[in-house]
């Protein structure tokens, strides 16, 4: 099972914000801690889909606090969805800098790697092995409909 995390909703809950920007390390820390508390309380699986649809922007410090630290601590496979090019400008370098990878879910459900290529490929294979994604004849990997 893939646990879904609506980052915009977590931002509103964690810092009681009315804005949609993930900026400052303190904001990122509050959002990450809120997500971690939900994982500990629910004892959830370590595969998650993080939806950035309602997030207007994210800076490097928030990308580091949320995505990198969750990948190093609680989440083994992270699927990112709703990411704009601006989001990827922060997320990509942070993942690369830490030697981490996540998967990027496109609008059609296909998955691409983000971060070190070999690590991203291993994540794609892990989702296929877990039967949470399937590889087509052309080699494209897509999430399996729940």
Give the whole-number percent of the chain exceeding pLDDT 70. 94
- Residue 100 token pair: 């981490």
pLDDT at 146 over 70: no
- Cβ contacts of 141 within 8 Å, gap of 6 or more: 110, 111, 124, 127, 128, 133, 134, 135
> Which of 120, 145, 7 has the alpha carbon at shortest distance from 66?
7
Which pTM was predicted? 0.90
**Domains, the chain, ordered by start:** 3-143 (3.30.750)
> Which of 86, 10, 91, 2 has the alpha carbon at shortest distance from 49?
2
What is the structure's pLDDT at 58?
Answer: 97
What's the pLDDT tens digit per position in 93-125? 999 999 999 999 998 889 999 999 999 999 999
What is the structure's pLDDT at 79?
Answer: 95
CA 32 – CA 10 distance, rounded (Å): 9
> Which of 133, 140, 94 has the alpha carbon at shortest distance from 115?
94
Task: Quickly count: other Cβ atoms within 10 Å of residue 135's Cβ.
Answer: 14
- Residue 74 token pair: 């609680």
What is the structure's pLDDT at 68?
Answer: 96
CA 71 – CA 119 distance, rounded (Å): 12
């Amino acid at each position: 099972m893939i646990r879904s995390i609506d980052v915009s909703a977590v931002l509103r809950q964690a810092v009681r914000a009315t804005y949609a920007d993930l900026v400052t390390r303190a904001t990122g820390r509050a959002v990450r801690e809120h997500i971690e508390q939900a994982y500990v309380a629910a004892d959830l699986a370590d595969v998650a889909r993080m939806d950035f649809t309602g997030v207007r922007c994210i800076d490097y410090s928030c990308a580091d606090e949320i995505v990198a630290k969750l990948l190093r601590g609680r989440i083994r496979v992270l699927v990112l969805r709703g990411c704009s090019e601006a989001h990827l400008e922060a997320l990509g370098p942070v993942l690369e800098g830490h030697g981490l990878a996540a998967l990027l879910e496109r609008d059609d459900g296909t998955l691409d790697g983000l971060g070190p290529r070999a690590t991203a490929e291993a994540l794609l294979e892990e989702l296929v092995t877990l039967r949470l994604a399937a590889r087509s004849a052309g080699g494209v990997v897509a999430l399996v409909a729940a």
